[in-house]
Amino acid sequence: MARVVVDVMPKPEILDPQGKAVQGALPRLGFSGVTEVRQGKRFELEVEGEATPERLEEVRRMAEVLLSNPVIEDFEVHVVDHTVAEAAGTVTGQVTA
Amino acid sequence: MARVVVDVMPKPEILDPQGKAVQGALPRLGFSGVTEVRQGKRFELEVEGEATPERLEEVRRMAEVLLSNPVIEDFEVHVVDHTVAEAAGTVTGQVTA
């Protein structure tokens, strides 16, 4: 069993009203220093078997066909070793892909 | 300038109708072998200065107060070296955090 994540974000040239709303709310809540916020989607998939190149290519096609709208969104597929639930509330200082 | 991502996912014990809808659609589109789909949110933040522990702790508070609903969602904060837009369409085989 492999855990594969598909991250989907609005393309940079596409307006992102949800991200702008968050960005506008931050100063009102006393947070400063955030210059840009973009909001997108995260899909956590559990797939049978190993995360072989063929399996990941199939997930890439799922992302293209179902999980994203390629006209207005970019996506990235990556294998992860833990879910957000397993890491709940943690802050990872190191740079990750 | 640092790029910080907040991933927000429904807690495991919370129903996720969006994820279930995706999971149900996959076989109809000819995709098999996906045993679980959960759908959440991804926020890409640009913050001023370096990603110091203090700065990341502030982002953690933003996640707690504004970006997630701690009753029904888990979140994780991590620093990234690229945005989804910069990696658009790529498939990363290696396991990342």
Residue B49 lies in a domain: yes
pLDDT (0 to 100) of residue A97: 44
A88 interfaces chain B, CB cutoff of 8 Å: yes
Beta bridge mates, A43? A6, B39
Residue B97 lies in a domain: no
Across the range B25-51, mean pLDDT stands at 97
- Average pLDDT for consecutive 10-residue bins of chain A (97 residues)? 96 97 97 97 96 94 96 96 87 60
pLDDT (0 to 100) of residue A94: 55
Strand locations in chain B, DSSP E? 2-10, 34-47, 73-80, 91-96
Give me the residue from B41, B58, B95 closest to A81, CB to CB.
Answer: B95
Domain that holds residue A15: 2-79
Read off the CATH number of the domain in which A41 is found. 3.30.1280.10
Q: Any idea what DSSP says for residue A69? A: -
Residue B91 lies in a domain: no
pLDDT (0 to 100) of residue A64: 96
Residue A88 lies in a domain: no
pLDDT (0 to 100) of residue A87: 86
Reply yes or no on whether the pLDDT at B63 is more than 60.
Answer: yes
Across the range B20-45, mean pLDDT stands at 97
Look up residue A60 and give its amino acid: R
Whether the ipTM is more than 0.90: the answer is: yes
CB contact under 8 A, A9 and B44: yes
Strand locations in B11-66, DSSP E? 34-47
Give me the residue from A9, A44, A59 closest to B9, CB to CB.
Answer: A44
Reply yes or no on whether the pLDDT at B38 is more than 60.
Answer: yes
